[in-house]
Structure 1
Amino acid sequence: MSANKPLVWLPACHRNLDLSDPGGYTVLADRYAAAVCELGLQPVLFPMAGAGDVPELLPLVDGVLLTGSPSNVEATHFGASALETDLLDPRRDRLTMALVRAAVGTGTPLFGVCRGLQEMNVALGGSLYQQVHAEPEHLDHREPQDVDLEAQFAERHEVILAPGSAFADWAGGTRARVNSLHGQGIKRLGTGMVAEALAPDGLVEGVRVATAQAFAYGVQWHPEWRHNHIPFYRRTLQAFADACREHCRQRLGPCR
């Protein structure tokens, strides 16, 4: 009997890349799919999936990876008004709000990166700072402009990790350096979420969903970037991959 490869759902973003085509495009940054493949997992997309499709599609996969994106979670989801400067993706919002709650409720491994962390927080009842850099008590967490990707994704600040947490285990200590490429950030934690990584200004940058039945973590940084060269990033992603494999074994039997 051949072993199955665990499947990881990566919700896509939606863009109007061609102004002559009002239908738009479904897009996914390759680096997320590449990282999933390098972990021995198979990324899958359901391009036209909506919230109503989650109960049918979620049982087909072994994990959910919520990726980062240039777009922001629309502020109406946490009781605020969108800013004129916001790049929004309402189709993705509608899907991921339902997908987060379903993954947590069914014990499907869940990992959120950057926008994905923010989606988890909002889906579970939390709120966001719409512009962290506009808050007097916080740093500017945005990436530098007009530089190459290596410079944008360079390690930018330290995070303080809760002693005894999985984050501290993955980092090999209670402090680690991470990249920083975000404008929004967690203001009020969602129900069941525990802050286990903080930036120097106190901004929540890593969370665990304590009420989840399986792996459910989110980070504000981007561990998919050069994860094969940064042990903290690699161990974080490997923990998610291990959880997906265990889910696959429970769902289908032997898994790669």
Structure 2
Amino acid sequence: MRKPIVAVTADTLLAEMKPINQKMADYAPRPLIDALGRNGFLPVILPYNDYAEAEELVGTFDALVLPGGPNPTPRFYHEDPIWSIGPTYEKRDKFEIDLIQACIKAGKPILGICRGLQILNVALGGTLWQDMQSQNSGAFIQHMQRAPGNIATHYIEVEKDTRLMDILGEGLYVNSRHREGIKKLAQGLRPAARTRDGVIEAVESEEGDLLAAVQWHPENMDPETMDPLFRAFMDRVLKHMGIEE
């Protein structure tokens, strides 16, 4: 059996990169590439492309991962940016939104991570808190942690009767590195986990199993704890490829 090809959308380094003086370099997180490879995928990094349609690109891979990165541009959910929003990059936003819609149409499974959860929600018609600290008075937990990024800092409660509960159990501590969060959940998604202050920490398809996303960074946590999440993604991909393990 060939390894499933998973496309990981790239971020773009807008500043100059030393030591090679490269600008506009495309990249993906090494820990994420390693986590996918460790769990049986053949990962490829997919930068935004001004010269190809999403439908053309979708034919080159079996599944899509939307990794972390800058905040989604508010105009994609019909808002203007507030003062405290972080950096945005609309070229990546549009590229990922088009890919999400093409993957859904083609039946290609998607896993979103941090920003990936947010852009998935936006692509399906949901909205975001641009800055929970200033906009969401109910969010009393520190969601942009000051601890090292690999350290789990707050607890999430997994919703009953979800696929995520089958994967990770009733709850666990996770890392947290996000300013934004889901405000209005998109149609077709259901919450799969929340923090103790009510912020949605994971989503999955209301019907079927095509879509899943988490707000934390599983690739930066202990593989023994988080590899089940990547193995469950593999199970979904093989199912949609029509391959029995």
Instruction: Please say whether Structure 1 and Structure 2 have the same fold, judged by a TM-score greater than 0.5.
Output: yes
Contact residue 54 and residue 102 of structure 1 kept, 8 A: yes
Q: Does 1:143 align with 2:142?
A: no
Tell me the CA shift for residue 122 of structure 1.
0.3
1:70-149 matches, within 5 Å, as 71-84=70-83, 85-134=85-134, 135-139=136-140, 140-144=142-146
Tell me the CA shift for residue 254 of structure 1.
8.5
Tell me the CA shift for residue 220 of structure 1.
0.4
Distance 1:166 1:19, change over 3 A: closer
Distance 1:51 1:247, change over 3 A: farther
Give the corresponding residue for 2:13. 15
SS at match of 1:5: coil
Which region of structure 1 is more displaced relative to structure 2, 114-123 or 91-100?
A: 91-100
Tell me the CA shift for residue 227 of structure 1.
4.2
Tell me the CA shift for residue 82 of structure 1.
2.0
CA distance in 1, matches of 2:230, 2:162: 15
Tell me the CA shift for residue 245 of structure 1.
2.7
Distance 1:10 1:50, change over 3 A: farther
Tell me the CA shift for residue 81 of structure 1.
1.2
Q: Does 1:183 align with 2:179?
A: yes
Tell me the CA shift for residue 54 of structure 1.
1.2
Which region of structure 1 is more displaced relative to structure 2, 217-226 or 18-27?
A: 18-27
Contact residue 66 and residue 113 of structure 1 kept, 8 A: yes
Q: Does 1:170 align with 2:173?
A: no
Tell me the CA shift for residue 128 of structure 1.
0.3
Tell me the CA shift for residue 246 of structure 1.
3.1
Tell me the CA shift for residue 125 of structure 1.
0.3
| Structure 2 residues not aligned, in runs of 5+ | none
Q: Please, which of 3, 9, 24 is the counterpart of residue 5 of structure 1?
A: 3
Give the corresponding residue for 2:215. 220
Counterpart residue type for residue 162 of structure 1 = E
Cα deviation code 1:86-134 (max 9, x no counterpart) = 2112111011111112222221110000000000000000000011122
| TM-score normalized with structure 2 length | 0.89
Fraction of identical pairs, as percent: 26
Give the corresponding residue for 2:196. 200
Contact residue 13 and residue 89 of structure 1 kept, 8 A: no
SS at match of 1:154: coil
Give the corresponding residue for 1:155. 152
CA distance in 2, matches of 1:200, 1:91: 34
Contact residue 110 and residue 211 of structure 2 kept, 8 A: yes
CA distance in 1, matches of 2:157, 2:180: 19
Question: C-alpha root-mean-square deviation of aligned residues, in Å?
Answer: 2.2
Q: Does 1:235 align with 2:213?
A: no
| TM-score normalized with structure 1 length | 0.86
CA distance in 1, matches of 2:121, 2:13: 24
Distance 1:170 1:23, change over 3 A: same
Q: Which has the higher contact order (CA 8 A, sep 6+)?
A: 1
Give the corresponding residue for 1:56. 56
CA distance in 1, matches of 2:172, 2:151: 13
CA distance in 1, matches of 2:180, 2:14: 22
Cα deviation code 1:29-51 (max 9, x no counterpart) = 11111111111111112334259
Distance 1:88 1:22, change over 3 A: farther
Contact residue 51 and residue 94 of structure 1 kept, 8 A: no
The count of corresponding residues between Structure 1 and Structure 2 is 240
Counterpart residue type for residue 167 of structure 2 = W
Contact residue 192 and residue 202 of structure 2 kept, 8 A: yes
CA distance in 1, matches of 2:59, 2:36: 19
